[in-house]
Each structure stands twice: as C-alpha cells, then as structure tokens.
C-alpha cells in the first residue's frame, strides 16, 4: 500500500502514464474497480428503505437517514481526506478506505438495532471519503495531460456501474432472501474490489509526502480560491449533481401518476439509464482531452438543458429521451470538470479535489431536497423549471470558462494546457 517509486513502464518520459499503454490499462482497471466498490457500498441501502421501515418500525423519513447521514458526513470528510493522503500517501489512504468501508457495510448486515445501523452508516461516510477525492488527485498527478480525461472518464464509469449495481443487487436479493443477504454480497464485492485495487494500482511517481500542518493546509485552501477558474468549477460540480439527482428524485412520481400510470417495477428500470454514463464519461472525457475542456464542457450543459425540456412533453418516449440526454450530459460534464480541477490546481491538487467533491455532494443534498418544494407547488413542470435554471447557470459558467486564461508555462503536471 506504499507510494514509493518504482521503475516506470509504459509511461511518457519514464514518468507520466499515457493511454494505449499496459500501465494505463492496469491503472484504470484498478480505479474502475474502486469506483464500483465505492458507489455500490454507498447506495446499496437506497432500495432497502421500505425494508428498514418494516424491520425496525421507523418512518420513511427516518429510514432515509441510512443514506443521508452517510452522504452528509462524506461531503465534509472529503475536505480533509486530501490532506491525510498528502501525509500518508495516495494509494495507502485509498486502499484502507475501500477495505474499511467494505467491513463497515458487512457489519450493517449483522447488527440487530436501528441505532447501531445508523452509527455504522455514519462511520461509512467517514471511511469512504478516502477514495473519491484522492482518486482524482492520483489521476491528476500520474496521468499525461492528453490521457487524464479518458482516465477520469473510465473511473467515473465505474462510479456509474457501482451506483446502479449496488441498488440492483440488494433490491433483487431482498426479494428472494433477506435484505441482509444483499448487503453482505455488496460488502463482499467491495472487499474483493479493494484487494484488486491494492494489487493493481501502480505506485505513485509524482507524490511528495507533506506533513499535516494546519497553517500550510489553510494556505493551500486559500490558494485554490485565488485561482480565476477553480471556484467556478466547484460551482459547476454543485449544479451538475444537483440537477441530475433532482431529475431522478422526482421523475418517478410523474411516471407513476396519470397519464402514464406505470408500475413501480417499470419505473425502477429507469436506473438502468445509468449505464449510459459508463460510455459518456469516458467518451466525453477523451474528447475533451483532444479538443480542449473549455471547447467541450458547454455542450454537456446544452445537452442537459435540451433533455430537461423534453421531459416536459406528454409522450412517454420524449420523457425517456429527455432523461437519457440529462444522464449523458451529466456524466460527460462531471468527467470534464473533475479532470480540469486536478489539472489546474498545481500543488493544491488534494485540496482542490476535496473542495470540488464537497460542492458536488452538497449539490445533491440541497438541490435534491429543494426540488421537492417545486414538485409540491407546481408538479413536474415546476421541478423542470428549477432544474432548467440550474443547468442554464451551469451553461453560462461554462461559457465564462471558455475564455479562462491558461496558467503560464509549458504543459506539465498541475497546469492547464493552452487552448488548442
């Protein structure tokens, strides 16, 4: 689990990993597995909330704490995960994060009480924080500038499959066996993925250990906010996930009611649209690496805006096409912005990644809940207007970032290459 240097293989100038090499495939397989594990462990309880209400005698709102407590702690803990990895190493922190998280999820299937389950799910938010922010930092440090977009996209593809797979495994097994069996299976997959990650991820070549010094840490956070582009990229993360989660939170209500009156099982299949993210994140990330992030980012928001508009029409095929467009645009936009943050952050990569993901998950929490107020007052059209306003704001910021001045000096790890 150590981050000491080894002889380079398949890298550019013996240091940076490039796509098309065996080392690139090895690194991305490891990170793909990590993404599957992380988001499978995080979201596996979502389809089980009715089971929790039945087994523990709690309300639906109380049952939702099994996920909201985890994501809330995760958002704040990621602010500090990067600093911990600065001191103890990227790979070490990520490996411990995965294995500890799998163990905590396994324990949730074994504890008898509701309070104990919530305590474990709260601790899970803390342990999971060691993977998402640090994975972004590792990619930005180790990947060649023309390969980081594809590498980040493949990692996010694993996130999409994990988020869908965790829900699917526990939901299906709960029907045939017991919800605890499903949770144990997801925990087993997480543990296997953690061990695979440990064995396959190449050691860091550009990591420089930095002790935990509060004053230095605050200075790095301050430097991030003095950059002309990074704070806007954090806002983009907030808007991207906020809009995406709000669509999926409330589109089911529309499809269950008239004029569609679809069954819960059919509506549940909408999560299979997540598979589009496995393609769009990698493809859009690679396209941005070739054409320039600023030239591609705005198209993802434009696609999301068109998708939101389609969901307001009556024909079911247009509603589904709109959800597909929103999903494609979201995963592509997240891939582009997250890789751009790491490329621009210089020596504060860990802090910039943490701040981006903090904004990203806060978007999910705040906008996802706020959309309910619009649904209660104006139905789906109100939700669509709320989402459309967020996406339009993201599009305007993307247009502003198009004119962002590149950092001075030749392209190197931690700098944004000039506009092609």
Tokens of 207: 């990591």
- Answer yes or no: do 170 and 34 share one domain: yes
Predicted confidence at residue 310, as pLDDT, reads 97
- 11: which DSSP letter? E
- Answer yes or no: do 416 and 311 share one domain: yes
pTM: 0.71
413 phi and psi, to 5 degrees? -55, 125
Closest CA to 267 of 276, 254, 258, 279: 254
Low-confidence ranges of the chain (pLDDT < 70): 1-14, 19, 49-50, 60-61, 64, 82, 87-88, 204, 206-217, 219-220, 264-265, 267-268, 347, 350, 407-420
- Answer yes or no: do 295 and 349 share one domain: yes
What residues make up the domain containing 151?
8-212
Predicted confidence at residue 418, as pLDDT, reads 32
pLDDT averaged over the chain?
80
How many structural domains comprise the chain?
2
Asked if residue 259 has a cis previous peptide bond (ω within 30° of 0), the answer is yes
Cβ count near 62 (within 10 Å):
15
Q: Tell me: the pLDDT tens digits for 191-248? A: 998 898 888 887 767 656 666 566 666 766 777 888 888 899 999 999 998 899 888 7
Predicted confidence at residue 11, as pLDDT, reads 41
In percent, the amount of the chain with pLDDT more than 90 equals 25
- 20: which DSSP letter? T
The CATH number covering residue 251 comes to 1.20.1250.20
- Answer yes or no: do 182 and 236 share one domain: no
């Amino acid at each position: 689990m150590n981050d000491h240097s080894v002889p380079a293989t398949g890298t550019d100038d013996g240091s940076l990993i490039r796509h098309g090499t065996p080392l690139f495939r090895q690194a991305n397989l490891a990170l793909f597995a990590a993404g599957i594990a992380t988001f499978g462990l995080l979201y596996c309880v979502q389809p089980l909330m009715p089971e929790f209400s039945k087994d523990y005698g709690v309300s639906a709102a109380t049952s939702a704490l099994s996920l909201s407590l985890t994501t809330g702690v995760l958002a704040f803990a990621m602010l500090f995960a990067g600093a911990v990895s600065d001191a103890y190493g990227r790979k070490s922190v990520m490996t411990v994060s995965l294995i500890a998280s799998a163990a905590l999820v396994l324990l949730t299937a074994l504890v008898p009480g509701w309070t104990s389950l919530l305590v474990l799910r709260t601790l899970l938010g803390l342990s999971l924080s060691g993977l998402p922010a640090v994975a972004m930092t590792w990619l930005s440090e180790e990947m060649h500038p023309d390969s980081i977009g594809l590498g980040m996209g493949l990692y996010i593809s694993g996130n999409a499959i994990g988020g869908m797979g965790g829900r699917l495994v526990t939901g299906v097994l709960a029907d045939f066996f017991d919800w605890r069996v499903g949770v144990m299976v997801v925990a087993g997959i997480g543990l296997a993925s953690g061990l695979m990650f440990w064995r396959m991820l190449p050691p860091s070549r550009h990591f420089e250990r930095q002790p935990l010094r509060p004053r230095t840490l605050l200075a790095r956070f301050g430097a991030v906010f003095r950059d002309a582009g990074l704070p806007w990229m954090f806002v983009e993360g907030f808007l991207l996930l906020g809009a995406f989660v709000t669509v999926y939170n409330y589109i089911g209500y529309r499809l269950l009611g008239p004029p569609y009156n679809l069954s819960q099982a059919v509506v549940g299949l909408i999560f299979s649209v997540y598979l589009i993210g496995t393609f769009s994140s990698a493809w859009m990330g690679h396209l941005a690496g070739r054409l320039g992030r600023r030239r591609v980012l705005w198209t993802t928001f434009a696609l999301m805006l068109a998708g939101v508009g389609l969901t307001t029409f009556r024909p079911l095929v247009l509603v589904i096409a709109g959800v597909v467009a929103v999903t494609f645009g979201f995963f592509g936009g997240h891939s582009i912005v997250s890789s751009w943050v790491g490329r621009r952050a210089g020596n504060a990569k860990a802090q910039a990644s943490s701040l981006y993901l903090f904004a990203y998950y806060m978007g999910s929490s705040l906008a996802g809940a706020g959309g309910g107020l619009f649904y209660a007052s104006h139905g789906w059209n109100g939700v669509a207007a709320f989402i459309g306003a967020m996406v339009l704001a993201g599009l305007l910021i993307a247009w502003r970032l198009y004119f962002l001045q590149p950092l001075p000096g030749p392209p190197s790890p931690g700098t944004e290459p000039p506009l092609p």
